[in-house]
Structure 1
Amino acid sequence: MLGTVVKAIFAFIFISSAYILFGFVYRYYQRSLKFLRGPPRSSLLTGNDYEIIHQEEVNVIENKWFNEYGTAFRTSTCYGEDALMVADPRALQYVLHTSGYRFPKSIDSQQITKMMFGRGILWAEGEVHNRQRKALNPAFSATQLRQFLSLFQRSTARLANKWKEEQLVSSVVNVSQWLPKITLDVIGESAFDYKFGALDGHANELGEIFKHMFYILTPQCRFPSLPPNTDYTLPSLPAVLPTPLANFLCRFPTKEETRFREFSDASKKVAKSVFRTATEAANGQEDSKGSKDVLSVLLRSNLTEDPKKALDEDEGSTRTIMLAGHETTASTTTWLLFELAKSPKDQQRVYAEIRDVRARIGVEAELAVSDYDSMPFFNAVIKEALRLHPIVPTLARQAASDDSIPLDFPIITESGEEISQIPVSKGQRIVLSIAMYNRLTQVWGDDANEWKPERFIIDSKKKTALGVYANLMSFSAGVRACIGWRFAIMELQAILFGLLEKFEFSPPPGGLDDIQRVPAGIMIPMKKNNWQEGVQMPLHVKARE
């Protein structure tokens, strides 16, 4: 009996190995984009993915490639697969806007998203995504979001008071530890009427997981010689491994998978608690039936009898909104303060606009949306921070059918031919570089890599309109653009106004040159050669007189 089992195991390993080897060879000789130029593959197993994921700073390697090969080129991913890396405006518009759902997320992206967020709006495709988005849209309308301005302002004031209470003013503060607390409290209260109590130091399971959610994805936390997340993150694994072997590997989760599953389990507990309490409170209350906050929208959707409008518990996107709704805003604010600390003249100019608005509306008055929008340079620095520091640097897509992607800027092929269309086959992996588009000299000028908020005040027409905000790709674009982008902008405005009104930010002793933009799923700040300290953005904070 034992001998039979051993033989079966060896047979399974042999067949799987032969299958994988065949996949390598087949893909290597059937390369889909071999007519394009691109960097040489550094490994048959990992292609160029290993060097991209393990680079110490976001986009350094890709920047060299885009400068050499143009706005679109071939790169190699794992197991011999070709990928099309793109930052061309027209190509991005075609994939995200024109083609709608014809370029869905890549298989591995869908797997990771489903593991973390369930079958919510980040995971869904096609008609399912369209149904979920329509159900959630009322909760994210500009009119609905205005009611949260007061919460944004109160929360920022509490953060300022915390700094004073803990005697952090006139000292160096790691703002990257504090900003996620305020945004987590805000998203909990505004979207789900749930109090995390992060700013007050209340410990809870989900809040603790958030603290280290992305640190485990940093290059220093990865195994030094093997590809990261081999069982699900490497792009082509599902297509190379037989399903039984892929399922078997899932029984041995990586530390990233374990952390993601912890987040998933903890967020499910919060969601169930929130929904149970809200359902009990809403029973028989007529006024709740017209509410359009996220929680009310989800409750009504769960109770609807129309299957086209219903969102079940796993589709409710509570996990998506909790994580994406607080971490991205906190990170963007962190990089915004980083740039203003390095640019005292710009910080003073923003403060001058803040002071003028305060003089006009009164010291104790709450600001309205129109007050924030009335400050041109204030809003320009927000846009410039979003441009220079997109928290999610790339998006992964694949072609649902044979297609041809148009280019704004022609490229040169391996044979020396100039082309302005790239033919792609069904299943072709496409990497959309948000970070490179946001710094493309053809779009933003020769100073695209420099901090220059004035570029958003100067009236300059762009050939291709992209994104949902300021021609930026930071919130993605098209049918899959970030549903909460207005929420994020309003929150950014409130936090920036509230902090700059009371504090002046400057570099710590030694400066900020050692801060790196580290790739970790999202872009996080860490000190060069000192990553063991964790996420770091040390700024000197001084109270304004």
Structure 2
Amino acid sequence: MLGTVVKAAFAFIFISSAYILFGFVYRYYQRSLKFLRGPPRSSLLLGNDYEIIHQEEVNAIEAKWFNKYGTAFRTSTCYGEDSLMVADPRALQYILHTSGYRFPKAIDSQQITKMMFGRGIIWAEGEVHNRHRKVLNPAFSATQLRQFLSLFQRSTARLANKWKEEELVSSVVNVSQWLPMITLDVIGESAFDYKFGALDGHANELGEILKHMFADSRLYPQSWIILYRAFRRSLPSPLANFMCRFPTKEEVRFKKFSDASKKIAKSVFRTAAQETNGEEDLKGSKDVLSILLRSNLAADRKKALDEDEVLSQMATIILAGHETTASTTNWLLFELAKSPKDQQRTYTEIQDVRARIGRDKELTASDYDSMPFFNAVIKEALRLHPIAPVLSRQAASDDSIPLEFPIITESGEEISQIPVSKGQRIILSIAMYNRLAQVWGEDANEWNPERFMIDSKKRTTLGVYANLMTFSAGVRACIGWRFAIMELQAILFGLLEKFEFSPPPGGLDDIQRVPAGIMIPMKKNNWQEGVQMPLHVKARE
């Protein structure tokens, strides 16, 4: 028996090694992007992947390459495969918007997404994604979302009271510990009528998993993990799916989150189903839970979501709906703490609105939108600090990607189109586009909310909000972007109205934008402390 197992193991190793070797040789001589310029391969097996994944600051390495090679260039990934890295506006528009579903997520991205969220809208592709989007769209309309403004405002007020109760005011507060609590409570109650109780200190399995979701004791994957994932994504689908049964340590955390969120979702979903008498009771209701219930009951299967898809949507919304907003608020307060004049100007607009509507009245969506500089600082924070710095795609067929800004090839030729072959791996640099000097001006790397106060015409417009790529674009743009903006407005207004934020003793220069799946703040040379955004918080008189 033991001999059979050993033989099988050796056979697997031999076949895997042969497959890798064949793939390496094939890709090396069949590179579709060999005509493009790009950085030299830093490792024969790893290409440029290791240095990209292990950089200490988001976009630090890629920024140098974009400055040298232009808005699109070739990089090397594992086993001799070439990757196209892009930040060109027209190329991004073509891939994400014009082409619809012709550039699906890269296979490894699909694999990770399924582990984390299950068969939800972020994982889905093509017609399946279109079906999911049509089901969920009504829940994320501007009209529907306005009903949650009161919840956003109450939750922010509770956070402010917590800081006062725990005597944190007039001291340094790690706001990155608190902001996920408020956004988790908000998404639970608004989307699913479920109370996480995070601000009240209620311990729950999901909350504990989320604390360590993206930052644990070993932040960066080892070389063998990078190679393993690259090997797995290159396999035929049935074999790749089988290999996903052997997850890495990080993927085990993702799976734990998915299982825990589905467990909660199942309880919420079944309780809500028992309290209704079928589809008629849900008719006209446009909250997320009602929409998911109605879809699960739909007779027309083209408009329906099965139970696993429903539970996966809930897992998706819980994570994507709270972690991203909390992280963005971290960076927004970080920038305002470093820019006291901009913070004061924002506070002045808040005071003007209060004087107009009254001290005890709740703000409307129009009230928030009436403050130009207030909204400009939100846009600038989203521009400088996109929480998901890159997106990965692959070409579903041979294609040609247009460029707004021509580039120079290896032979010295200037081109404005890049031909790509079916299966070509493409990395979309959201962080670089959001800081592209050709789009945002020579001060693109600097904090300057004033840029959004100027009505400037852009040759190519992108995204769903303020010409930014932070919420992606096209058919796969973030479905909850309006929810995120409204929540950011309510949190910023509620906190700045009551508190003044400033750097802690020693300043904020040691805070790094660490790439850990999403962009997280950590102290330089002190990553063992975990996620950190220490700000001095002072009550306004």
TM-score (norm 2): 0.97
How far residue 240 of structure 1 moved from its aligned partner, in angstroms, is 5.1
**How many matched pairs?**
539
Letter in 1 for 2:298: T
- Measured in 2, the distance between the counterparts of 1:422 and 1:284 equals 53
In structure 2, distance between residues paired with 1:7 and 1:205: 42
Q: Which residue pairs with 1:419 in the alignment?
A: 415
Structure 2 residue aligned with 1:239: 234
Q: Percent of counterpart pairs with the same letter?
A: 85
For residue 261 of structure 1, the aligned residue among 255, 275, 284 is: 255
Does residue 1:307 correspond to 2:305, yes or no? no
* CA apart distance, 1:237: 3.1
The superposition leaves residues 122-177 of structure 1 with CA deviations (integer Å, 9 ceiling, x where unpaired) of 01111111111000000000000000000000000000000000000000000000
Residue 281 (structure 1) aligns with: 275
Aligned partner of 1:293 in structure 2 is 287
Residues of 2 paired with 1:348 and 1:325: CA distance? 29
Say if 1:398 and 1:223 are closer, same or farther in 2 by CA, change over 3 A. Answer: closer
| Partner AA of 2:247 in structure 1 | P
Query: Could you say what secondary structure the match of 2:302 adopts?
Result: coil
Question: How many angstroms apart in 2 are the aligned matches of 1:312 and 1:6?
Answer: 42
The C-alpha deviation readout for 1:398-435, integer Å capped at 9, x for no partner, is 00000000000000000000000000000000100000
* 1:271 corresponding residue in structure 2: 265
Partner of 1:62: 62
SS at match of 2:337: helix
Q: How many angstroms does 1:227 deviate by? A: 4.4
Where in structure 2 are the equivalents of 1:124-523 lying within 5 Å? 124-216=124-216, 220-222=218-220, 224=222, 226-232=223-229, 234=230, 237-239=232-234, 250-283=244-277, 288-316=282-310, 317-523=313-519
Q: Distance in 2 between matches of 1:4 and 1:150?
A: 65
Does residue 1:33 correspond to 2:30, yes or no? no
Decide whether aligned partners of structure 1 residues 358 and 75 sit closer, same or farther in structure 2, where only a CA change above 3 A counts. same
* Equivalent residues of 1:399, 1:425 under 8 A apart: yes
- SS of the equivalent of 2:234 reads helix
More deviation, 249-258/168-177? 249-258
CA distance in structure 2 between the aligned counterparts of 1:42 and 1:229, rounded to whole angstroms: 14
Does structure 1 conserve the Cα–Cα contact (< 8 Å) formed by 2:279 and 2:297? no
TM-score of the aligned structures, taking structure 1 as reference length: 0.96
SS at match of 1:85: strand
Q: Could you tell me how far apart the structure 1 residues matched to 2:132 and 2:492 are?
A: 32
Matches within 5 A, 1:12-91: 12-91=12-91
In structure 1, the partner of 2:521 is: 525
Q: Hey, what's the Cα distance between the residues in 1 that align with 2:246 and 2:280?
A: 50
Structure 1 stretches lacking a partner, 5+ long:
none
Partner Cα distance (2:182, 2:128) in 1: 33
Q: Assess, with a 3 A threshold, how the Cα gap between structure 1 residues 250 and 399 changes in structure 2: closer, same or farther.
A: closer
Matched letter for residue 523 of structure 2: K
Write the distance in 1 (CA, Å) between the matches of 2:9 and 2:203: 47
Structure 1 residues 429, 366: CA separation in 2 closer, same or farther (over 3 Å shift)?
A: same
Q: Secondary structure at the match of 1:102?
A: coil
**More displaced 10-residue stretch of structure 1: 40-49 or 442-451:** 40-49
Q: Return the alpha-carbon distance in structure 2 between the equivalents of residues 284 and 41 of structure 1.
A: 59
**1:304-327: CA deviations, max 9, x gaps?**
111111011222211110000000
Q: Distance in 1 between matches of 2:128 and 2:473?
A: 18
Distance (Å, rounded) in 2 between the aligned partners of 1:2 and 1:395: 45
Shift of 1:74: 0.2
Mapped contact 1:231–1:249 kept (Cα < 8 A): no
Secondary structure of 2:101's match? Answer: helix
Query: C-alpha separation between the residues in 2 aligned to 1:433 and 1:88?
Result: 9
Contact 2:278 2:297 in 1 (8 A): no
Give yes or no for contact 1:146–1:369 (8 Å, CA) kept in 2.
yes
Q: Cα–Cα, structure 1 residues 436 and 302, in superposed 2: closer, same or farther, change >3 Å? A: same
Kindly provide the amino acid, as one letter, of the partner of residue 464 in structure 2.
V
Distance of 1:491 and 1:69 partners within structure 2: 39
Amino acid at match of 2:22: F
CA gap of 1:264–1:95, structure 2 versus 1, over 3 A, is same
**Aligned counterparts of 1:286 and 1:301: Cα–Cα separation in 2:** 12
**How much does 1:247 deviate?**
6.3
Counterpart amino acid of residue 495 in structure 1? I
Partner Cα distance (1:413, 1:433) in 2: 20
**CA–CA distance in 1 between the matches of 2:139 and 2:462?**
24
Report the alpha carbon displacement of residue 542 of structure 1 after superposing the two structures with TM.
0.2
Letter in 2 for 1:69: Y
Aligned to 1:104: 104
Q: Which amino acid aligns with 1:442?
A: Q
Distance 1:284 1:480 in 2: 31
Which SS does the other structure have where 1:400 is aligned?
coil
Amino acid at match of 2:368: Y
SS in 1 for 2:275: helix
Cα contact 1:410–1:419 (8 A) shared by 2: yes
Per the TM alignment, residue 11 of structure 1 is displaced from its structure 2 partner at its CA by 2.9
Distance (whole Å) between structure 2 residues aligned to residue 87 and residue 443 of structure 1: 11
What is the aligned-residue RMSD (CA, Å)? 1.6
Q: What SS does the aligned partner of 2:85 have?
A: strand
**Whole-angstrom distance in 2 between the partners of 1:459 and 1:14:** 62
Residue 16 of structure 1 deviates from its aligned partner by 2.2
Structure 2: distance between partners of 1:285 and 1:429: 43
Q: Look up the SS of the partner of 2:417 in the other structure.
A: strand
Amino acid at match of 1:524: I
User: What per-residue deviation string (whole Å, max 9, x for no partner) do you get for residues 350-378 of structure 1?
Assistant: 00000000000000000000000000000
Check conservation: 2:232, 2:243, Cα contact below 8 A.
no
Q: Which amino acid aligns with 1:46?
A: L
- Report the 3-state secondary structure (helix = DSSP H, G, I; strand = E; otherwise coil) of the residue aligned with 1:345: helix
Within 2, Cα distance between the matches of 1:410 and 1:175? 43
